[in-house]
Structure 1
Amino acid sequence: MTSNLLETAPRPLLAFVRLGRPKFLFQSMLVVAAGVTIAVHSGHQASLGWYLVTLLFAWCTHLMTHYCNEYFDLEADRANAAPTSWTGGSRILVGGHLRPEVSLGAAFVLLFVGVLLLALLPSLETRLVATAIIALAWLYTAPPLRLNYHGLGEVSCALVLYGLGPLLACVVQAGTIDTAGLGYVGVLFVFQFLRMAIMNLSDIEGDRATGKRTLAVLLGAAGLVRLFAAGQLVGYAAIALLLVTGVIPVSAGLLMLATAPVPIWVTRQLTTGALAEPRRANAVTFWASMHMPLTSSSIIVGLLVDLGVHGGRLWQPWLAVVGATFLIFGTWLVRAAQTNRAGAPSPAG
């Protein structure tokens, strides 16, 4: 038995990488790209230098959150008897492959690097936004607030990644954000809030056992599924309203609406007990997660199409960055979807 465990245990470096769950970095990569594209669509030329600074800050903060969560969520993760490839943590600390202090140490190093990157940002406004991102990300599971233990984790995560994230990327480039940009950010915030609610629903038993009061624990499974379904209706109704009132261009609005089959499928699975079956639970949490980068991608493509159709200036280097981003994400998504269908662990884990 011990021999088998040693043979299957990941090497320390690989274990450390898996501990940070890098597959989720596609979310922040596309968030930053969406924010920059919003700025480009509003008439500003993208600065690749500031894009790289913003992306590094987003990735650093995102990884910091993961390492921090792994340490402070260890008790809840140990109590989770039914993790998926997308929920329940990396299982590296639970499996004893690394000491918990390694995760906390990595989180502090990334916190320090994030503060250094924050200091490089171009204005007081952007530095204040970045400060809020770091503070909320750290306090998501860390004392003294431990937001995800008091029914505030879903809203704080949505605010950090899909609220303040694209806002920061846009304001770094443009110095401001227009009404349409706020509309995109608002829709992304709502969808991420709902996505996090579903992720926590998958972890409900372990969370309940350890006193972690997520929305899933507070509302119960049936209540949370109703919230998810109603919230999706509100989000897509908002997109339709922004479209018919001309706040957002037709191309962006239609592409955002085209993502609706994903949450419809997730809702159907939730109402038929998918989370009680490991393979179906993995598929639900996978597609609930992928709804977010797909929505970000629809905004990016829709805005660039609108610029092209109406003769707007498309800065070629930014198109190359977007193309490379989609190539990397698309390649990974195809592999991850294939693995998900096969019921195997994610190849990007």
Structure 2
Amino acid sequence: MSSSMSGQDAYDPQTLTVKGTISALIALGRIPFASEVPGWALFGCLLSSQIFSTTTLSTGFLRNLDWWVTLQSMLVTWGTNVAINYGNEYFDYDLDRPGQVTAIKKDMEARQALNKSKSSNGDGTDGSQAIKGTTKVKEENAKLYANTTRIIHDGTFPPWTALACSAVWQAGLIALILSSRFTDPTLHPKANKHSNHYWRPGFGGTPFKGLGIYIGIVCTILSHSYVGPPFRLHYHGWGELVSALFLTPVALIFGMVAHYTATTGKAVSFSDIFPSSYPTRSGFTLDRQLWTLIGAVYLLQQARILVMHINDIEADIRGGKRTFVSRVGHETAKNLYALCNLVSLGLFASFAASLTSSSSSNGMFLRVGGSRLSDTSNTAFVSVWLAGLTLVLSYSIPAWSITYKALVAEIPANKELSAKSSGTTTDGLIPTVSMGNVAILVSMQTLITPVVLSVTCLAAGFVASKLS
């Protein structure tokens, strides 16, 4: 990767305070927007605490939930996502560079024009002071928040800053995992004085063993290879698939496996996820009901990933990044977005139907604290879940419609036709939204969904426990 500037005319470093520097680095790693993945890990931990009984905790609503294991699972998934964001900025530097240089030059020219305008008014202000105040604040905010990559392109920070931040976050995650494993008395019996039992009597050990640690290692390597070496998956058409898998279903399954492992002391193996016979050796497994829900939320994420890259097709092709979306084109990507959402809707409907069917009591899902529900509590439990699923679809379906309309308009032939038209068309029932706002819309949709499902899980467990 080349770290040289493309001409000194694009050199526009900003003098930042300590607070401004911290804000800039937070924006560079998109830290506030990395909270979706830990949301799915939280949902996985909640599901595990409701479905499976433990050997270390009391059964029942929330008493089956190990808060420290849940927090560790969320921190690891969140921190890994942040580390990947930083790494992506570094390894995508050359691809982003031409567009950034153009944007920086335009910004500098706009300020020069503003200075000349100030001087022509005879206000006696020095050119370097003419942009102070509100205008300067707005410009800095735009640079630091609206365009997170600019700060390593305009000279404010060297490009390696992004890689260094990634390394620091990854080192912190490794320290957390090693500390968690060291305090597990089943792994280090001689360190029992310093174990979790020492300060959390009655609770479980580390979530980072068995399948949980293997998931973490594989996901970290492949996620850092999203745009970085050795695989550079996103440059070869695999990035959209891998990122969608890791952001939702893998994070959810990791939360379930991690919580189960820590609270039962039984390490889960890969064969337990896809067993050939029951019961599995560890006692952990996923039935058809759970796989249906996992498939539904995965397709929501896959649809979002497609949308996020459609707007970058031309830039990716120019930069040599042959993403899956740039390979298939606007039309096919638009159709795949619709297909993902339609199949997701069907899976949500199938999951809801499985909750109300006569054979639902044989499934794993209808439990609280590892115990099966009575008829009365079962009815209330299902009602809460149906309400939660209805809420998810109530904001998802309008988002799908708005996004699909925007994707149709984004097809090059349709954009040319729109440019030639008089612009007198009306929105109709579905509003017209720009691709920039569509990206925000679908991101908010997938960000809210794990929160809604987690609250639904808690509410259903609470209501059922009161009636049991």
- TM-score, normalized by the shorter chain, greater than 0.5: yes
CA apart distance, 1:5: 5.0
Task: Confirm whether residue 101 of structure 1 aligns to residue 160 of structure 2.
Answer: yes
**Residue 66 of structure 1 aligns with which residue?**
85
Distance 1:17 1:112, change over 3 A: same
**Residue 38 of structure 2 aligns with which residue?**
29
Q: 1 CA distance for matches of 2:466 and 2:260? A: 16
CA apart distance, 1:220: 0.7
Which structure 2 residues correspond to residues 28-67 of structure 1 after superposition, within 5 A? 28-43=37-52, 45-67=64-86
Distance 1:5 1:143, change over 3 A: closer
CA apart distance, 1:313: 9.5
Question: Retained in 2: the 8 A contact 1:42–1:178?
Answer: no
Root mean square deviation of aligned Cα = 3.2
Question: Retained in 2: the 8 A contact 1:27–1:292?
Answer: yes
Task: Confirm whether residue 110 of structure 1 aligns to residue 169 of structure 2.
Answer: yes
Q: Which amino acid aligns with 1:272?
A: A
Task: Confirm whether residue 143 of structure 1 aligns to residue 229 of structure 2.
Answer: yes
Distance 1:49 1:78, change over 3 A: same
**Residue 286 of structure 1 aligns with which residue?**
440
CA apart distance, 1:239: 0.8
Q: 2 CA distance for matches of 1:87 and 1:14? A: 12
Question: Retained in 2: the 8 A contact 1:18–1:92?
Answer: no
Question: Retained in 1: the 8 A contact 2:296–2:348?
Answer: yes
SS at match of 2:150: coil
CA apart distance, 1:134: 0.8
SS at match of 2:409: coil
**Residue 338 of structure 1 aligns with which residue?**
none
CA apart distance, 1:80: 4.5
Name the structure with the higher helix share: 1
CA apart distance, 1:207: 0.8
Question: Retained in 2: the 8 A contact 1:63–1:110?
Answer: yes
Stretch of structure 1 that moved more, 109-118 or 48-57: 109-118
CA apart distance, 1:211: 0.9
How many residues of Structure 1 are paired with residues of Structure 2 in the alignment? 312
Which structure 2 residues correspond to residues 1-349 of structure 1 after superposition, within 5 A? 11-43=20-52, 45-80=64-99, 90-119=149-178, 120=180, 121-122=206-207, 123-175=209-261, 176=284, 178-179=286-287, 180-246=289-355, 249=382, 250-258=386-394, 259-273=396-410, 280-311=434-465
Question: Retained in 2: the 8 A contact 1:239–1:256?
Answer: no
Q: 1 CA distance for matches of 2:39 and 2:298? A: 14
Question: Retained in 1: the 8 A contact 2:24–2:151?
Answer: yes
Question: Retained in 1: the 8 A contact 2:293–2:351?
Answer: no
Question: Retained in 2: the 8 A contact 1:150–1:212?
Answer: yes
Question: Retained in 2: the 8 A contact 1:80–1:205?
Answer: no
Q: Which amino acid aligns with 1:185?
A: I
CA apart distance, 1:311: 2.7
**Residue 341 of structure 1 aligns with which residue?**
none
Stretch of structure 1 that moved more, 287-296 or 180-189: 180-189
Distance 1:215 1:88, change over 3 A: farther
Stretch of structure 1 that moved more, 114-123 or 139-148: 114-123
Q: Which amino acid aligns with 2:248?
A: Y
Tell which structure's C-alpha radius of gyration is larger: 2
Structure 2 spans left out of the alignment, 5+ residues = 1-8, 54-63, 104-141, 181-205, 262-283, 366-381, 420-432
Distance 1:50 1:185, change over 3 A: same
- TM-score (ref. length: structure 1): 0.79
Structure 1 spans left out of the alignment, 5+ residues = 315-349
CA apart distance, 1:177: 5.2
